[in-house]
Amino acid sequence: MNKLFFFVTFACFVVRNVFLPRKLVFVSAILLLSPAWLLAQEPLRAGTIFSATQAPLWAAKEGHFFEKYGIKNLEVIQFSGGQPVTRALIGGDIQISTTGGAAVVNARLKGADTIIIARTVGVFPYTLYVSKDIRTAAELKGKKLAVSTVGGSGYVAMQYALRKLGLDPDKDVAMLQVGDFGTRLASLAAGTVQGTLLLPPFTMRARELGLTPLYDLVGSGIQYPINQITTRQSFIKSQRETVKNFVKGLVAGLARFRTDREFGIKVLGQNLHETDPKILQETYDFWLKVFPKISTPGPEDATVFLEFMQVKESRDWKEFVDPSLMEELERDGFVSSVYK
């Protein structure tokens, strides 16, 4: 900022004394130092995680859709899980998150101005894998299970799976924060933990290692908004078009991912660091079923988390969700246009 101020001051001095009337130079300096101009020079920072749930973001970047819709300076920052992403969003280190879920609703309950603006994944895309020697849920009692972060959507999914298996997640097991899917799979294979939730392509690797699939959350048919696009209300207020253009890029990116198989497989391979053609084909087929079109969020994008967190007082779902951006894109015909 100091260098920028020096540059503008020096430029104004030169121009004032050589080229232009003083009043015009003064106005030019004000415009150069205005918040809008400075903001235009700053990158839009989006927080993400290492997971195929982020394929819309990956596809939008690979297909240059953000640039197409006016996002010229996007910086994508990867975090270890949904909780760290949400903390960065609250702290202003990022302006948009492509994770969402329980962490965002919980932050809102604590006074943050986080808000959900779109939904990308509406089901649990996980399978609970456990050690080779475990065959029943009862054998998990007293064991250690790995999650990315306590309180995130994966943590919520793990609790749900354990309850479906007849276990008390607070008493029967110990849940440890271990990190991303690759790290958790490595910990499970090494015996450091005895179970974790995985999604493709990590489920294929787990199968190759002989690990036991104990519970399939995808097959359970549970509707759960596990991945959403979130930002802050204050950022929407000051930069609504920027947020809208970012969402446009995601919608177009997912459309290309869904309709161009070769492109979609390429995107998955590059971002998951996977080269096995068979695994990539199977991974793409899985996510093609899981990813609908990016949808307008509704009451369930908040209420499912509020119920899970056992919030007693009545809360308006629109306190946590702003559907207006996606409603505009639907109403204007943008969403349907990218699938033509």
Considering the domain architecture, whether residues 302 and 203 belong to the same structural domain is answered as no
Considering the domain architecture, whether residues 235 and 331 belong to the same structural domain is answered as yes
Q: Is 94 helix (H, G, I), strand (E, B) or coil?
A: coil
Going across the sheet that includes 174-177, the strands are 174-177, 144-147, 195-198, 127-130, 212-216
DSSP string computed for 217-285: TTTTT-EEEEEEEEEEHHHHHHHHHHHHHHHHHHHHHHHHHHH-HHHHHHHHHHHHT---HHHHHHHHH
Amino acid found at 286: F
Considering the domain architecture, whether residues 100 and 231 belong to the same structural domain is answered as yes
For 320-331, the pLDDT digits (tens) are 999 999 999 999
Would residue 278 count as lying in a domain?
no
Check residues 180 and 323 and name the one with the higher pLDDT. 323
Distance CA 270, CA 264 (A): 10
Amino acid found at 205: R
> Of 179, 194, 216, which residue is a domain's last?
216
Considering the domain architecture, whether residues 152 and 187 belong to the same structural domain is answered as yes
Q: In the predicted model, is pLDDT for residue 292 greater than 50?
A: yes
To the nearest 10°, report the CA torsion of 307, 311, 317, 321: -90
Considering the domain architecture, whether residues 231 and 321 belong to the same structural domain is answered as yes
Distance CA 229, CA 82 (A): 12
Considering the domain architecture, whether residues 229 and 317 belong to the same structural domain is answered as yes
Q: What is the pLDDT of residue 238?
A: 96
For 215-272, the pLDDT digits (tens) are 999 888 777 888 899 999 999 999 999 999 999 999 999 999 999 999 999 999 999 9
Considering the domain architecture, whether residues 149 and 252 belong to the same structural domain is answered as no
The CATH number that applies at residue 192 is 3.40.190.10
Would residue 250 count as lying in a domain?
yes
Whole-structure pTM value: 0.79
Q: What is the pLDDT of residue 175?
A: 95
Would residue 276 count as lying in a domain?
no
Q: What is the pLDDT of residue 340?
A: 74
Q: In the predicted model, is pLDDT for residue 213 greater than 90?
A: yes
Would residue 153 count as lying in a domain?
yes
CA atoms within 13 A on the CB side of 139: 12
Q: What is the pLDDT of residue 261?
A: 97
**Average pLDDT for 275-295:** 92
Amino acid found at 113: D
For 1-34, the pLDDT digits (tens) are 444 444 444 444 444 554 444 444 444 444 444 4
Considering the domain architecture, whether residues 27 and 170 belong to the same structural domain is answered as no
pLDDT-based confidence at residue 41 (cuts at 50, 70, 90): low
Mean pLDDT of the chain: 87
The vertex-319 CA angle with 317 and 323, nearest 5°, equals 70
Q: What is the pLDDT of residue 25?
A: 43
Q: Is 215 helix (H, G, I), strand (E, B) or coil?
A: strand
Domain residue limits at 190: 127-216
Would residue 288 count as lying in a domain?
no
Would residue 280 count as lying in a domain?
no
Considering the domain architecture, whether residues 58 and 18 belong to the same structural domain is answered as no
Considering the domain architecture, whether residues 231 and 332 belong to the same structural domain is answered as yes
Q: What is the pLDDT of residue 34?
A: 46
**β partners of residue 163:** none
Q: What is the pLDDT of residue 22?
A: 46
Poorest-pLDDT segment among 25-39, 59-73, 84-98, 104-118: 25-39
Q: What is the pLDDT of residue 333?
A: 95
Check residues 71 and 149 and name the one with the higher pLDDT. 71
The count of structural domains within the chain is: 3
Considering the domain architecture, whether residues 230 and 311 belong to the same structural domain is answered as yes
Q: What percent of the chain has pLDDT over 70?
A: 88
**Average pLDDT for 275-289:** 94
Considering the domain architecture, whether residues 118 and 81 belong to the same structural domain is answered as yes
pLDDT-based confidence at residue 337 (cuts at 50, 70, 90): very high
pLDDT-based confidence at residue 191 (cuts at 50, 70, 90): very high
